[in-house]
A and B are shown apart, each in its own frame.
Chain A
C-alpha cells in the first residue's frame, strides 16, 4: 500500500510528466503515419531507454504505446486508413463520420475513448495484475485455437455486403497468411524460391496495401466529381457532446475496455484482436446495430477504447510473470533486463518504487491523450478538406515510406503495391478489406494453436478432451456458435421486437 502511494507521488515528478507528454506526442505522430506502428515507435526509443534511468525509460515506453494507439485513429477516421493494425475497426465508423462532415466528432470520440481505455487499463495494471495474470495462464493452445475461430465468426458482422463475399475474403486472408515457413515441420510454403517471403506477408504491409492504396485510387477516380473528402464545418461543444454520450451510456466504453484488458493480457492476441472483438460485441449489444458501419459513434468508442486498454494490459503478464503480452511489451522487457530488473515477484518486492511509478504513469497517459485529442482535433480534421489531388499522392507516399520502414525491405513495398492493386479490384467487386485482414491476422494464430493442440492431443490420446472438453474451450465454443448464428438469431429477435436490423441484410 505504501509502495502504491510512493509510486503515485513518484509518477508526478515533473521530469516524468514531461517524459510522458513528450513521448505520447511522438507516439501519436508515429501512430498516425500508416505503416509505422506502436512497436516501431518503441523500438526507435529502445537505445535511449537503455541509457536512461529504468523509470524514465519505462514511462517513455508507455507514453509511446498509448500515444501511437490514439494517433492511429486519426488516419483511420480521416482517410479510411488505419495508422496501425489496432485501428482497423476504427475505420468502419470513423471514416463514414468524416464523410458526413463530422470528422472532428470522430476524432474527439476516439480521443476520449482512447483516454478511457488507457485509464481503465492503467487501473487494472495497478490493482488487479496478479489475479489477472494467473487467470491468463489458463489459456493454452486449445483455448487460443478457439479464440481464433471465435474471431473468425466476426466476419459475419463485418460483412456489410454479402455474407458469401465476406467469407471468401476471410478465406483469402487466411490463405495469404500461410505464405512463409510453416509453424510446424520447417516446410516453406508459397515462397516460390524467394527467401524474402520466408517471413510471410507482413500484416502491416497488407494493411497499408488493402486500406490506403484502394482509398487513394478511389480519390483519384472521383477527382472530377469531388475535390475533397468532406466539407468542414466548425462545430462547438463537440467535447461536451462526446463526454455526455460516454457518461450517460457508459456501458459501451466499460465493456470495450474490459474486453481490451482481457485480450491484452493473452500473449498471442493483442490490440487488433481486442478492438475487433470489442467492435463486434458493440454491434451485438447495441439497440441500433443498423447504425454500425455508417458512422456510429459507439463503433469508434468500442474500437478505440479496447486497443488502448489492451496495450496497457499487455504489461500485466510482463511485470508479474515476465511474459510479454505484446511486441512493445517485449521491448519493455528488454529495457527492464538491461537494468538488471527481473520481472516477477522480485520486481514488486525489491523495485516497487519503479514498478508503481511506472503503473501510475500508465494511468496518467489517459489524461495526456485526452488533452491532445481536444487540442489538435480541430486542425487535423482539415485533412479531410485538402484537395484530393494533394491528398491522394500524399497517402501513396506515406504508404510507400511506411511499408518500407517495417523491415527496411524493398520487397515489402512491392508487395504493398501488389496487394493494394488486388485490394482495389476486390473492393470494386464487393470484397471488403475488413474480412481479408481478419483472416490474415487470425490465420497464423489458429494454425499455430491447432498444430500445438494436436501434439497435446496425441500425448493425451484424446482429441475430444483437448479440443472440446476443457472448461474454457467449452465457453469459447458456445460463444463461437452464438456469434456465428447471431445474424439469424438477431433477425428473429428483431422481427419479434420490431427493431429493424437491415445492416445485416444484403444491401449491395
Chain B
C-alpha cells in the first residue's frame, strides 16, 4: 500500500486537520467566525456605498502592488465544494499562497448556478483582497438572459483563465448513434423526437445545441436537467434521454460508459484523439466552458496583474498545466493581459446567439 513516510505524513495531517475543525466547532464555528468578521464588514460597506474602499487603494498604484498582498485573500467559490470551481481553486491554492506570501481563504457561496456568489462578490471592495472563481459561459449568459441576476459581466475584471473544456455531444455506450451523422439522420427522420439533455435552460448547453440544430436543419427536444452533470449523466446512462450536451471533461471522466460524438472546439482533444470536432462536419459550433479567477471591477490594475500572473505561475509550478490534460481539460493559461479580452469576446458571441434561444423558448 502507501509508503511509510506518506502514511505518517497523512496521519499528522489528519490530526492537524481534525483538531482544527474541532477547535472551530468548539469555538462556535471558528472557521465561520473568521469569515464572519470579513463578511460583515464588507457587507456593510458594499451595501452603503461602493466608494468605501480601504485607505491604501487611494494611494498611488505602484505602491499598492508593492505592498499587495498585506493580508489574507478571500477566494469565493460560487458552487458547492467538490465542484469544478472548487477543484480549480484547490489545485493551485498551496502554491499560490507561497508565491503571494499570504493565506488564501476559500469561501463557498453557492446557489442560483453561481449567481448568488457572484452578486455577493461584485459588492465587495475592489482592493484585491476578494477574488472569485469565474466560469464561462455562466458569467456572460446569466446577465444576458436573467431578468435580475444581481450582477453584470462588466462588474467583474477577469484576472486569469486557467483551464477550459469544449462542449461535447455524448451518448451512452449502448446508443444506436455511432457517429454525428447517425444522430443528425435520426433527428431528421423523427423531428423533435430525439431528446438531448443539458444543465438548465438558457445555459451554454442550451444555446449551443440550438445553434447546432439550426445549422444542421434538425429539430431536437432539449431536456433541461437540474442539479448539474451528475443527474444528467445518470439520465443518459439509464436511457431516459438519447444524448447529452455538456463539458468534454465529463465525457472524458465517464469515457468507459459514454461515447462522444463530437467536440464543440476548434481542434480535437488530446484526451479524446478519435473524436471529431463539429467543424470537421462543416458545422460552425463552438462553445468553451472555462474556469478562471477575477476581482471586482475597479480593482487597481497593478494588483490584478500581480495576482493574475501569480495564478498562471502557480499552474505552471505545480505541473497542473500538464496534469489537467488527462482530465479532459485544456490548459488555456490566459494571464491578466488577455483574460478580460477573452470575456469580451464571449460576450459578443452570446449576444449574437441569444435571439435564437429566445425564439425557441418564447419570451421570458
Q: Kindly provide the distance from the CB of A500 to the nearest chain B CB, expressed in whole angstroms.
A: 44
Find out whether the CB atom of A185 lies under 8 angstroms from the CB atom of B21.
no
Contact of B82 among A60, A141, A330 (CB under 8 A): A330
B2 within 8 A of A: yes
With a cutoff of 8 Å between Cβ atoms, the chain A residues found around residue B39 in the complex are: 408-410
Q: How many interface residues does A have (CB within 8 Å)?
A: 94
A377 within 8 A of B: no
Find out whether the CB atom of B109 lies under 8 angstroms from the CB atom of A407.
yes
B184 within 8 A of A: no
Contact with A along B253-278 (1 / 0, CB 8 A): 11011000000000000000000000
Find out whether the CB atom of B43 lies under 8 angstroms from the CB atom of A195.
no
Given the contacts A321-B237, A407-B111, A186 and B202 also touching, CB distance less than 8 Å: yes
Contact with A along B225-264 (1 / 0, CB 8 A): 1110011011101111100000000000110110000000
With a cutoff of 8 Å between Cβ atoms, the chain B residues found around residue A42 in the complex are: 81
A14-22, A91-99, A296-304 - interface stretch: A14-22
A43 within 8 A of B: yes
Q: Kindly provide the distance from the CB of A256 to the nearest chain B CB, expressed in whole angstroms.
A: 25
Given the contacts A331-B81, A455-B223, A186 and B257 also touching, CB distance less than 8 Å: no
With a cutoff of 8 Å between Cβ atoms, the chain A residues found around residue B349 in the complex are: none
B113 within 8 A of A: yes
A46 within 8 A of B: yes
Find out whether the CB atom of B224 lies under 8 angstroms from the CB atom of A340.
no
A439 within 8 A of B: no
Residue of A nearest to B327 (CB): A337
Find out whether the CB atom of B148 lies under 8 angstroms from the CB atom of A188.
yes
Find out whether the CB atom of B113 lies under 8 angstroms from the CB atom of A181.
yes
Chain A, 22-48, CB within 8 A of any chain B CB: 22-23, 25-26, 29-30, 33, 36, 39, 41-48
Query: Considering the chains assembled together, what is the distance between the CA atoms of A429 and B327 in angstroms?
Result: 56
B291 within 8 A of A: no
With a cutoff of 8 Å between Cβ atoms, the chain A residues found around residue B16 in the complex are: 48
A233 within 8 A of B: no
Find out whether the CB atom of A460 lies under 8 angstroms from the CB atom of B193.
yes
Find out whether the CB atom of A26 lies under 8 angstroms from the CB atom of B112.
no
Query: Considering the chains assembled together, what is the distance between the CA atoms of A422 and B149 in angstroms?
Result: 28
Q: Kindly provide the distance from the CB of B218 to the nearest chain A CB, expressed in whole angstroms.
A: 13
A200 within 8 A of B: yes
Find out whether the CB atom of A186 lies under 8 angstroms from the CB atom of B145.
yes
B50-58, B84-92, B208-216, B305-313 - interface stretch: B84-92
A146-154, A242-250, A342-350, A477-485 - interface stretch: A342-350
With a cutoff of 8 Å between Cβ atoms, the chain A residues found around residue B224 in the complex are: 183-184, 451-452, 455
Residue of B nearest to A337 (CB): B87
Residue of B nearest to A331 (CB): B82
Name the residue among A48, A346, A410 with the largest chain B CB count within 10 angstroms. A48
B346 within 8 A of A: no
Given the contacts A185-B361, A338-B91, A321 and B234 also touching, CB distance less than 8 Å: yes
A131-139, A168-176, A219-227 - interface stretch: A131-139
Q: Kindly provide the distance from the CB of A55 to the nearest chain B CB, expressed in whole angstroms.
A: 7
Find out whether the CB atom of A29 lies under 8 angstroms from the CB atom of B22.
yes
With a cutoff of 8 Å between Cβ atoms, the chain A residues found around residue B148 in the complex are: 188, 191, 193, 195, 198
B66 within 8 A of A: no
Contact of A452 among B29, B40, B93, B225 (CB under 8 A): B225
Residue of A nearest to B17 (CB): A48
Query: Considering the chains assembled together, what is the distance between the CA atoms of A333 and B327 in angstroms?
Result: 13
With a cutoff of 8 Å between Cβ atoms, the chain A residues found around residue B289 in the complex are: none
Contact of A185 among B201, B227, B237 (CB under 8 A): B201
Find out whether the CB atom of B326 lies under 8 angstroms from the CB atom of A41.
no
Find out whether the CB atom of A338 lies under 8 angstroms from the CB atom of B90.
yes
Q: Kindly provide the distance from the CB of B213 to the nearest chain A CB, expressed in whole angstroms.
A: 13
With a cutoff of 8 Å between Cβ atoms, the chain B residues found around residue A50 in the complex are: 90
Residue of B nearest to A33 (CB): B25
Find out whether the CB atom of A140 lies under 8 angstroms from the CB atom of B235.
yes
Find out whether the CB atom of B21 lies under 8 angstroms from the CB atom of A452.
no
B6-14, B158-166, B334-342 - interface stretch: B6-14
A353 within 8 A of B: yes
With a cutoff of 8 Å between Cβ atoms, the chain B residues found around residue A398 in the complex are: 28
Find out whether the CB atom of B230 lies under 8 angstroms from the CB atom of A44.
no
Find out whether the CB atom of B7 lies under 8 angstroms from the CB atom of A53.
yes
Find out whether the CB atom of A186 lies under 8 angstroms from the CB atom of B195.
no
A161 within 8 A of B: no
A75 within 8 A of B: no
Find out whether the CB atom of A448 lies under 8 angstroms from the CB atom of B200.
no
Q: Kindly provide the distance from the CB of A458 to the nearest chain B CB, expressed in whole angstroms.
A: 6
A387 within 8 A of B: no
Query: Considering the chains assembled together, what is the distance between the CA atoms of A179 and B36 in angstroms?
Result: 26
Query: Considering the chains assembled together, what is the distance between the CA atoms of A185 and B234 in angstroms?
Result: 22
Q: Kindly provide the distance from the CB of A426 to the nearest chain B CB, expressed in whole angstroms.
A: 26
Find out whether the CB atom of A323 lies under 8 angstroms from the CB atom of B11.
no
A-B complex: 3 closest residue pairs judged by Cβ atoms: A199-B111, A195-B150, A140-B240
Which residues of A are interface residues toward B (Cβ below 8 A)?
Answer: 10, 13, 15, 18-19, 22-23, 25-26, 29-30, 33, 36, 39, 41-48, 50-53, 55-56, 60, 136-141, 180-181, 183-188, 191, 193, 195-196, 198-200, 202, 267-268, 317, 321-324, 327, 330-335, 337-338, 340, 342, 344-346, 353, 357, 397-398, 401-402, 404-405, 407-410, 444, 448, 451-452, 455-456, 458-461
Which residues of B are interface residues toward A (Cβ below 8 A)?
Answer: 1-2, 6-8, 10-11, 13-18, 20-22, 24-26, 28-29, 31-32, 35-36, 39-40, 43, 80-83, 86-87, 90-91, 93-94, 106-113, 115-116, 119-120, 145-151, 192-195, 200-202, 221-227, 230-231, 233-235, 237-241, 253-254, 256-257, 323, 326-327, 361, 364
